[in-house]
Amino acid sequence: MSSSSLVDFSHELANTVERAGRSVVSVLEGGRSGVSGTVWQEGIAITIAHTIQGLEEVTVILPSGDEIKAAVTSRDAGTDIAVLKLGTGAKPITLADDSKSRTGEVVLSIGRRGSEGLAAAYGIVSAVGGPWRTRSGERIDRWLRLDLTPFPGFSGGPIINAAGEVLGVATSGPGRSAAVIPTSTLNRIVDQLLKHGRTIRGFIGVGLQPVAFPDNALQTLGIASGRGLLITAIAPHSAAEEAKLILGDVIVTIEGKPVRSGATLQWLLDAETVGKSVSLGIVRGGQLLNVAVNVREKPAG
């Protein structure tokens, strides 16, 4: 790369950060260094929930430098995302299609650290993979691992591609690696928080324990998965009790999809299943049965 090309590349990156920075705010109460927030929709920003735990109102510095109070309208513990109502100020970020992210793609992490103003870190997408889970067990749609080190206070700020489009927001991944909550997950979660003030998840009311099947049982029953979920408890008046599930039943599928862990079952019981009947494949008394269960909304807490 010639020196002029390198200069042009440098200038273009700086311009990209400047444009995206018009959608990045600072949340002063967020931890020791404050945290960043990303303007997701007109008058609405998102940030990392645990950094402002217990607060109903926070102080936000807008890209203009103006300082305002923003209401914390809702939170989702599973993804650690909080919604802030700005009511005024910054331009919403431009969203990218995170499913098109590629290993080796140039990315920038952007934050706004109080009075220090806009800051950025440069790197690449070092790995792209399938779903992963947060510390709370929430399923994140796509794994984007980053080869960069965001500064303290960058959490909640956007991760952008070279076009200045946001792939997601910065968070901590497995093993304290730099990771991204992608736009596909955020759109789903933020839409529910704005519509309902909470996230909606399905619930059938069972206690579960993972179990493994011996090889001969797999052949006899004709099931693909070597694992299932043993029902160890059934909540009174729950969907499971209504469907006449019993202690000792082993759940192996939901709508034909293998279920190997409680987290997998919870993911499959998403907002779309609430109020609907789903088919559970269960093993009872050495036989494989299908049982229809009417999914209810998971109680808060």
pLDDT of residue 85: 94
DSSP for 242-288, written as a single string: HTT--TT-EEEEETTEE--SHHHHHHHS-GGGTTSEEEEEEEETTEE
pLDDT of residue 81: 92
User: What is the number of alpha carbons within 13 Å of residue 117 lying toward its C-beta?
Assistant: 4
The number of residues making up the chain comes to 301
The confidence band for 230, taking pLDDT boundaries of 50, 70 and 90, is very high
- Average pLDDT over the chain reads 87
Q: Which residue has the tokens 């043993």?
A: 230
In this predicted structure, the answer to whether residue 5 has a pLDDT above a threshold of 90 is no
**Tokens encoding 86:** 């700005």
Mean pLDDT, rounded, for 205-230: 83
pLDDT of residue 87: 81
Cα-to-chain-centroid distance, residue 191: 12
In the chain, CATH 2.40.10.120 sits at 3-196
> What are the phi and psi torsion angles at 6 (to 5°)?
-65, -40
Question: Rounded to an integer, what distance in angstroms lies between the CA atom of residue 204 and that of residue 269?
Answer: 9
Task: Please give the residue that has the higher pLDDT: either 7 or 139.
Answer: 7
Question: Rounded to an integer, what distance in angstroms lies between the CA atom of residue 72 and that of residue 84?
Answer: 5
pLDDT of residue 301: 56
User: What is the number of alpha carbons within 13 Å of residue 25 lying toward its C-beta?
Assistant: 34
Task: Please give the residue that has the higher pLDDT: either 88 or 69.
Answer: 69
pLDDT of residue 273: 86
Query: Cα-atom radius of gyration of the chain, to the nearest Å?
Result: 23
State what percent of residues in the chain have pLDDT above 90. 50
Whole-prediction pTM: 0.76
Q: Which residue has the tokens 């070279």?
A: 162
In the chain, CATH 2.30.42.10 sits at 202-297
Mean pLDDT, rounded, for 104-117: 89
Q: Which of 43, 54, 48 is nearest to 33 (CA)?
A: 48
Least confident stretch, 11-15, 250-254, 261-265: 261-265
DSSP for 133-193, written as a single string: E-TT-PEES-EEEEES-PPTT-TTSEEEETTS-EEEEEEE-GGG-EEEEEHHHHHHHHHHH
pLDDT of residue 166: 95
pLDDT of residue 18: 94
Class of domain 3-196: mainly beta
CATH fold of 202-297, please? Pdz3 Domain (2.30.42)
